[in-house]
Amino acid sequence: MGVFSFGRQKSEDAEKLHSLLQLAQEGDEDARRQFIQAYVPYVLRIASQASRRYIDRHRDDEYSIALMAFNEAIDRFDANRKAGFLGFAETIIRRRLIDYFRSQKAQSRVSPFSDFEVIDDEDNAVNYVEIRASLAIHHDSEEQNMRRLEIEEYANLLSSYGLSFQDLVELCPKHADARKNAVDVARAVAQDPQLWNYVKERQALPLKALEDKVCVSRKTMERQRKYILAVVLLLTGDFTHLQEYVNDRQDSFSNAST
């Protein structure tokens, strides 16, 4: 089987790929190999976008991680979900790459400073200040990259629920107390498996159940439901950097999206 175009597939190609996906999920390894091979260009594109640089499939670890994530998506995809397979696979790929970037950052943070010394011809370590400054710049750059990746993934997740960053800027409660109450409601949902399952299944807030769990009126929750739902998605997702905006302070999401 040749490689299909994943941009504009012919209907017969799309049907064949869908059939291969079903067979792969049922344990057909040959179908899995064919399906993965068909989407290698797609995997490379997502890996390059997430890494913000060209990814060489023969040299870069990011490609291997993205390919394993794509394979994971095959196993985890639920055909009954509203989202299509490619959108689901993209989310998994980006999450696994974010995990990888974080692990790389953690390793560099625990490395002894001597690992970064430059030795001259007389065996003297030189340029300590320049090296330290260089590492600081690299660290800040990695932080910014991971933050941007989280924003992209969060924006995609919001879109699947019919929300956007612009909605959050407009709907964010103006008063600090109101924002705190909205976040408290979101936490109640995020920390309760039954309430969170309700959100995932219906893409809506379990307002009736929440009335007995929080000290916020149903009328207020209905008025703030989009904002609360967005915070629930943030708290339950793999968004370490963005979650800082609700952990200690109830800041506007407009700060996170800039």
- Residue bearing the bigger pLDDT, 9 or 172: 172
pLDDT value for 82: 61
pLDDT given at position 171: 82
**Per-residue pLDDT at 169:** 76
Q: What is the pLDDT of residue 142?
A: 58
What is the tens place of the pLDDT at every residue in 141-198?
A: 556 667 777 888 888 888 888 888 777 778 888 888 888 899 999 999 999 999 999 9
Q: Give the angle 58-64-65 at the CA atoms, nearest 5°.
A: 150
- Amino acid at position 8, single letter: R
pTM: 0.51
* Residue 16 pLDDT level (bands cut at 50, 70, 90): confident
Q: How far apart are CA 180 and CA 189, in angstroms?
A: 14
Mean pLDDT calculated for residue range 1-24: 66
- 158: burial class by Cβ within 10 Å (0-12, 13-18, 19+)? buried
DSSP 28-95: -HHHHHHHHHHTHHHHHHHHHHHHTS---TTT-HHHHHHHHHHHHHHHH--TTSSS-HHHHHHHHHHH
pLDDT at 194: 93
Least confident of 27-31, 106-110, 194-198: 106-110
Q: Is the per-residue pLDDT at 119 higher than 70?
A: no
| More confident: 75 or 130 | 75
pLDDT (average), residues 122-126:
46
Confidence class for position 129, pLDDT limits 50, 70, 90: very low
Query: Is 219 a residue whose pLDDT tops 90?
Result: yes
Q: What does pLDDT average to over the chain? A: 78
Across 221-241, average pLDDT:
89
pLDDT of 110 above 60: no
54-97: pLDDT as tens digits: 888 888 889 999 999 999 999 988 877 666 888 889 888 988 88
State residue 117's pLDDT score: 47
Residue 208 clears pLDDT 80, i.e. is over it: yes
Least confident of 67-71, 137-141, 232-236: 137-141
Q: What is the distance in angstroms between the CA of the first residue and the CA of the last residue of the chain? A: 45
